[in-house]
Amino acid sequence: MSVALRQGPLAEFWYYFRENRGAVIGLWVFAAFAFVALFAPLLAPYDPTQQFRQSVLLPPAWIAGGDWAFPLGTDPLGRDMLSRLIHGARYSFFVGIVVVVVAASGGILLGLIAGFSPRWLDSLIMRLMDVILAFPSLLLALVLVAILGPSLTNAMIAIALVLQPHYVRLTRASVLSERTRDYVVSARVAGARLPRLMFVTVLPNCLAPIIVQAALSFSTAILDAAALGFLGMGAQPPTPEWGTMLAEAREFILRAWWVVTFPGVAILVTVLAINLMGDGLRDALDPKLKRS
Amino acid sequence: MIRYLLARLLTFVPTFLGVTLISFAFIRVLPGDPIIVMAGERGLTEERYAELVTQFGFDKPLPVQFWTYLTGVLQGDLGVSYVTKRPVWDEFFALFPATLELSLCAIVFAIAIGLPAGVIAAVNRGKLFDRALMSTALVGYSMPIFWWALLLIIVFSGNLGWTPVSGRMGLLYFFEPVTGFMLIDSVLSGQSGAFGSAVRHLILPTIVLGTIPLAVIARQTRSAMLEVLSEDYIRTARAKGLSPLRVNGLHALRNAMIPVVTVIGLSVGTLLAGAILTETIFSWPGIGKWMVDSIFRRDYPVVQGGLLLIASMVMVVNLTVDILYGFINPKIRARK
C-alpha cells in the first residue's frame, strides 16, 4: 500500500482500478468498442447500406443455409448484419461522447455558478434542475425530439439536456463542501479572482464524482439513444444505429432471430462494459471506500 | 417537524409551476399549426381560422394564455384530445389503472427477488454466489429493456407458446371494467379462465419492466447490508449467540432497509419511463403507450396534459418519500 501512496495520483488510481478485475475487463471491451467505432469503414466487409437482393434474411454462417460471405447473416433487405453492427458502433460511440461532453460541460458550469453565486441565483438554478428531474428522462427526451424533429442529432441534444441536472447537482454539492476549506480561503486572500477560484482552485478537487457520473451517463446515453431509435424518434432508417436496427427488425422476430438478437447483444455488451468500468472508477476514486 | 414539512412543501410550489410552464410551452413550439390540427377540417377558411384562434385563446398575450392554462389545470381542466375529443383528464384516468397494475406487479417482482438476493449476497460476501449474483445484477442494470422484451417474446411466446404477445386479456373474455385492474376485474366477472388469461398477459411485461428496478434493489440492498453488518451492534448480537437468521434478518435488515426504501420510492420515475417502452412493445393500453401514440398523432393537449400529470405524480411520490424519511430519520429534519 505504501508503495502506491508515494506514486503520482494517476499511478495510484491505476493501482486501485487494476484490483477490480471486472473493471479491467470492461476497459478492454470498451477499448475494442472504441477501436471498432474509429476504424469501422476499414473493418466492415461491406457498405452498411449495400443490399444483396439474392441473399435476403440469410442466417448466420454457422447455421444450415448460412454463407460465410455474411458471417452474421443478412437483414430483410439483404444487408450484411456484421457490417451494419460495426458501423452502428460509430453512432453509439459518437452519441456517448457528444452527450457526455455537452451534458458535463454545461452541468459543471451551471454547478460552479450555483455553488459560488448568491443565494437567489443558486435557488433559481437548482429549482430549474428540479423541474427537469421531475420528468422521467426518456419521456422528456421523447417529447423534446418530437418538437425538434426526429433525428440522431436532436436525440443527442435531448438526452444531453435531460442528463445535465445530475452534473449540476454533483458539482454544486462538491463546490459547497470545498468552498470553505482553507486552501480556497487562502487562494482568495492571495487575490485570486472568481473565475480562477472556480476553475483552477476548486474544480479539480470536485472531479472524482463527476468522472464516475460521466461513465454512467455514457452508458445511459447509448441506452436512451437506442430506445429513441427503437421508438422511431432517433436515428432514421437506413442508418445502421443499433436501436433503429431493432425497430426495423421487430416484425421478423419470430422468423429471423438473428436480426433481433445481434443489435441487442451489441448494445448490452457495450453498456455492460462501460458500467463495469464505471464501478471500478467509483471504487478507485472514492476515498471513503479505499482500503488503504 | 412542522418546519421541515413546510420547507419541503414550499420547494414543491416553484417546481410545480416550472413543470406547468414547460408543459405549457411545448404546445407552442411543437411543429405544425395547432389550430389546423385541432380543427381537423380541410380547406379551412380564413374567417373560420380566425374564429378558432379566438376560441382557443391563441390571440391573447402569452402570460394571459399561461394564466388561463394554469387556472384550468388547478381546476382539473387539461384540455380536450384532438383525436378522441374527450377530456385529457378522463383519458388519463381511464388508462392509468393499466399502468398502475403493471408497475405494481413489476415492483413487487423486483422486491420479491431483489431484496432476498441482496441480503444473501451480502451475507456471503466475496463467495461464488455473491459474485455470480452481482454480475447478473449488473447485466440486468445494463439491459436495453426493449430488446429484452423482444427476446422474451421470441422464447416464451414464439418457441414455447406459453404467453400471449400483446394486450391485457384474451379475446374470449369480455367484461366491463370495475376497478380497472384486470387481475381484480377478471375475478369479479366470474368468467372461468379470465383470471388465468390476465396473469398470462401480465407475466412478460412484469419481468421486462421489473428487470432494472430488480437489479438496482439487489445492488442497493447488498451495499446497505454490508455497511450495517460491520457495525458494533451486529457484533454484539452475534456475540450474544443469536442465530444468524435473527442477526441478519432482524437486526441488520431493519436498518439496511432505510436506503432501500428510498431507492424503491425513487424508482417511480424509472418505472414510468420503462412503461413507455414496455407498453409500446406489448400493446399494453396504459399511459406510456398513450403518450407515445399521442406524440406520433401530434395530439398536443394529450402530450401536454400527460407530461404534466406524469411529472406531478413523480414529484408527489418524491415529496412523500422525503417526508416519510423525515419521520423515520430524525437526523434529516434536524439538518435544515
Please write the tens of the pLDDT for every residue from A85-141: 999 999 999 999 999 999 999 999 999 999 999 989 998 999 899 899 888 889 999
Q: How far is A269 from chain B, CA to nearest CA, in Å?
A: 8
Instruction: Give B141's contacts in chain A (Cβ within 8 Å).
Output: 275
Examine the pLDDT at A267 and tell me if it is beyond 80. yes
Gap between the Cα atoms of B292 and B146, Å rounded: 14
How many residues in total does chain A contain?
Answer: 292
Q: Return all residues near A147 (Cβ < 8 A) that are at least 6 apart.
A: B26, B29, B30, B31
Please give the helix or strand (H or E) that residue A50 lies within, else none: none
State the pLDDT at residue A2.
Answer: 46
Would residue A66 count as lying in a domain? no
- B31 at A interface, C-beta within 8 A: yes
Domain that holds residue A229: 9-40+81-289
Q: How far is B315 from chain A, CA to nearest CA, in Å?
A: 6
The pLDDT-based confidence of A65 (bands split at 50, 70, 90) is confident
Kindly state the percentage of chain B with pLDDT values over 70: 92
Q: How far is B281 from chain A, CA to nearest CA, in Å?
A: 9
DSSP-assigned beta bridge partners for residue A80: A74
SS3 (DSSP) at B128: helix
Beta strand spans in chain B (E)? none
Please write the tens of the pLDDT for every residue from B95-118: 999 999 999 999 999 999 999 999
DSSP code string of A226-275: HHHHHTTSSSPTTS--HHHHHHHHGGGTTT-HHHHHHHHHHHHHHHHHHH
Taking alpha carbons only, the member of A256, A236, A259, A257 closest to residue A246 is A259
Instruction: Give B280's contacts in chain A (Cβ within 8 Å).
Output: 231
For A271, name the nearest residue in chain B, comparing CA atoms only. B142
CATH number at residue A110: 1.10.3720.10
Q: What is the mean pLDDT of residues A206-221?
A: 90
Query: Higher pLDDT residue, B31 or A21?
Result: A21
> Residues 45 to 104 of B: which have CB under 8 A from any A CB?
none
Residues of chain B with CATH 1.10.3720.10: 89-300+313-335
Examine the pLDDT at A1 and tell me if it is beyond 60. no
Examine the pLDDT at B37 and tell me if it is beyond 80. no
Q: How far is B175 from chain A, CA to nearest CA, in Å?
A: 31
DSSP-assigned beta bridge partners for residue B80: B87
Is B144's CB within 8 Å of A219's CB?
Answer: no
Taking alpha carbons only, the member of A149, A33, A165 closest to residue A89 is A33
Number of domains in chain A: 1
Examine the pLDDT at B152 and tell me if it is beyond 70. yes
Is B272's CB within 8 Å of A139's CB?
Answer: yes
Please write the tens of the pLDDT for every residue from B167-181: 888 777 777 777 888
Q: How far is CA B335 from the centre of its chain?
A: 30
Mean pLDDT of chain A: 88
Please write the tens of the pLDDT for every residue from B179-238: 888 888 888 887 777 888 888 899 999 999 999 999 999 999 998 888 888 888 888 888
Mean pLDDT of chain B: 84
Would residue A45 count as lying in a domain? no
Q: CATH assignment of B89-300+313-335, given 2.70.150.10, 3.40.50.300, 1.10.760.10, 1.10.3720.10?
A: 1.10.3720.10
Instruction: Give A267's contacts in chain B (Cβ within 8 Å).
Output: 144, 147
Q: With the C-alpha atoms ordered A135, A139, A145, A151, is the resulting torsion angle positive or negative?
A: positive
Would residue A48 count as lying in a domain? no
The pLDDT-based confidence of A277 (bands split at 50, 70, 90) is very high
DSSP code string of A100-122: HHHHHHHHHHHHHHHHHS-HHHH
